[in-house]
Amino acid sequence: MLTNDPADEIDNAMERVEESIQWHRDLSGAPDRHALRELYDQAVAEIGKRRSGISLTSGFYAKTGNSVFYACYLALSDYAKRTRRLNVVSAPSGGGKTSFSFAFMVALTRLAETHPEMPAGCVFVVDQIKKADDAYRELNALMPGKVHVWTSEHDKGAKNRTRVVHPAIESTPDELSRFPIIIVTHAFYSGINSHKARFWSPDGDAFNEYRRALTIVDERPEEVEIFETTLREAQTVKKAAAERLPEILDHIERLILLMTPQDLNARSQRLRIPDGEATSVLGWFTSDQAERIAKSYTSSIPGIDRLFGFARAMTLGCSFAAPAGNVVSFIGWQPKLFVKPGTVLLDATADIDGMSQICPWRETSPCRKHHTTTWKLSMCRSTQARTSEITSKWLRTKGITSASCSTRSRLT
C-alpha cells in the first residue's frame, strides 16, 4: 500500500471512501479494484526506485497516489458506461501526478494481459513535444515494447528538429494503434487524425479496433469553444428538423422545454438544471450520431451546430443564460479537448485558480483533500475559471457586467 499505516486500516478507509462515492457514482463495469490496486502499488514501487531523494509511498506523495488511483478507476467506470465526464486530479507541480498516472497505465495494461475481456488501452496527452519524449522514455523502461509516441518531431520524415533534436524513436501516426500505451500532444489529439490516437488494435488487425479505455491529459489545454444560441433559433431548428430529421425531434423538444423557463424569466441569468437531469434528458446530444448530424446539416439547417453544442455544454455543467435587452442568449462552452468516456485531467492549478461561479448550484461528489491535493468527480471547475475571461468579454459586448450576473471569485 502507499502508506506506512497498517494494511487493514488503510483498506478499511478505502472501502469507506468507495462506499461514499457510490452514493453518487455507479462503479459497475470497472475492473476488479483490488487486483488493479495491487498491480498499481507494484508499479509505484518500480517508479520509486528510479526516483532519488523522494519517497512515493509516504506522506504527501502517498495521498496524491490515492487520488490518482481513484480518479483513473472512476474514469474506467465512465468508459464502461459510455459516460462523458472529466475526472480531475489537482496537485501542485512536482506532486507526483504524472508518476502515479504512469503507474496506473502500467497496472491497467498488465492486468489486461491476463484478462483480455476487460477494457484497456491508454493514451497520455501532453502539451509539449519534449514532455512526450520524456514520457516515452520512462514508460518504455517500465514496459518495453508496449509503449509508443508520435509528435511532429518524432515523425520519420521530420526535418530541422528543434525541440527534440535526438528523439527516443522515430515513428508514424499509423503505428500508434498497435500499442496499448501511447503518448501524443494536445494538438494531435484534437486534430483531424485524432482517431489514430483514440483507437487501438490488441491483435494488430486494423479491422478489430477498440476505443482506448483511459485518456490521461497532462495539464489542461488553453482553448475553449463557445456556443451561443437563442430560443427563437432553437424553434427554427426544430421546425427544420420536423421536415428533414423527424427522428431527432423529441430530443430537440426536450432541450427547448429546458430553455423556455429561462427565456420567459429574463431576470434569471443562470441555468438551474441539476447535472443528473441534464445528463439524462440531454444525453443524446453527446452521442456520435448527434455530432455527425450537427456537422452534416450545419449549412442546410442554420444554427443546428450552435444548438447542439450548447446542449452538450449543458451536460457538462458549462452553460448559462444572459438577457440582453428583450432577448435571452443561451451560452455554453467546453474545452477543445475532446472529453471522451474514460478521461482524466491532471491539473496543477485547479485548486488555486479564481473560479467564476456561473453554475453555483452544481452538486459535486465527495472529495478527499490532502493539503492542496484533491480529486474531483464532476466537471472540471478550473476549466470554468479558464473560460471566465472569454465569457466576461462576451458579456461586455452585450452591455452586461460580471457583477450583474452575480459571479464571484472562489479560492479553494
Summarize pLDDT for 195-246 with one digit per residue, the tens.
Answer: 889 888 877 665 556 889 999 998 776 667 889 999 999 999 999 999 999 9
Provide the pLDDT for residue 60. Answer: 83
Provide the pLDDT for residue 355. Answer: 31
Tell me: do 274 and 209 sit in the same domain. Answer: no
Contacts of 27 (CB under 8 A, 6+ apart): 18, 21, 73, 74, 77
What is the spatial distance between Cα 308 and Cα 245, in angstroms, rounded to a whole number?
Answer: 14
In a domain, 412, yes or no: no
Out of 163, 193, 218, a domain closes at 218
Provide the pLDDT for residue 368. Answer: 42
Q: pLDDT per residue over 254-270, tens digit each?
A: 999 888 877 666 554 55
Assign 313 a pLDDT band (cuts: 50, 70, 90): confident
Tell me: do 233 and 118 sit in the same domain. Answer: no
> Are 367 and 374 in contact, with CB atoms under 8 Å apart?
yes
Side chain identity at 20, as an amino acid letter? S
What is the number of structural domains in the chain? 2
Tell me: do 190 and 82 sit in the same domain. Answer: yes
Task: Give whole-number Cα distances, 349 to 84, 384, 411, 412, in Å.
Answer: 22, 12, 11, 10
Tell me: do 178 and 77 sit in the same domain. Answer: yes
- Residue 211's CATH number: 3.40.50
Which structural domain, as residue segments, surrounds residue 214? Answer: 7-218
The arithmetic mean of pLDDT across residues 295-301, rounded, is 92
The arithmetic mean of pLDDT across residues 105-115, rounded, is 93
In a domain, 2, yes or no: no
Percent of the chain clearing pLDDT 90 (strictly above): 35
Tell me: do 163 and 257 sit in the same domain. Answer: no
Report the predicted TM-score, pTM, of the whole model to 2 decimal places. 0.60
